[in-house]
Amino acid sequence: MSENTLRVELVAADRLVWSGDASMVIARTTEGDVGILPDHAPMLSLLVEGIVDVTTVEGETWIAAVDAGFISIAENRVSILAERAEMSHEIDLEKARADLERAKSAGELLNDPEEAVRRAEARIRAVEKAN
């Protein structure tokens, strides 16, 4: 890993979703979107449902939909920990759209309908942004 590289690990509760070297990471926190470049100041923040955008050192872009969790940045290491995380290429777009409609119509039947809607919207955005 060179000085101008971030070591990134995106971890869900059940698996390592993505790991590699990156030149930039963008994630949504409770304070808003954060862009992370090499030599970023140490930070620990809460993630919200949304997408994580990773640009590799080779110039590839990897997009993931994540649930709420944490992001930790220290010494050019970025750890993203979420209850659930899916890479955009793993998401079935039609199923995600159906899940969004189901979440919107279920409303009061769900414990947290806003969370279900945000999760479905994040999955759709991840696929659309990757394409």
CATH class assigned to 6-87: mainly beta
pLDDT at 108: 53
pLDDT at 26: 98
pLDDT at 107: 62
Per-residue H/E/C for the chain: CCCCCEEEEEEECCEEEEEEEEEEEEEEECCEEEEECCCCCCEEEEECCEEEEEEECCCCEEEEEECCEEEEEECCEEEEEECCEEEHHHCCHHHHHHHHHHHHHHHHHCCCHHHHHHHHHHHHHHHHHHC
Domain residue limits, the chain? 6-87, 92-130
pLDDT at 103: 81
Among 61, 125, 51, 71, smallest CA distance to 93 is for 125
pTM of structure: 0.86
Q: Per the structure block, which two tokens stand in for 68?
A: 């709420």
pLDDT, mean of each 10-residue run, the chain (131 residues): 84 97 97 96 96 97 96 98 95 91 71 80 92 83
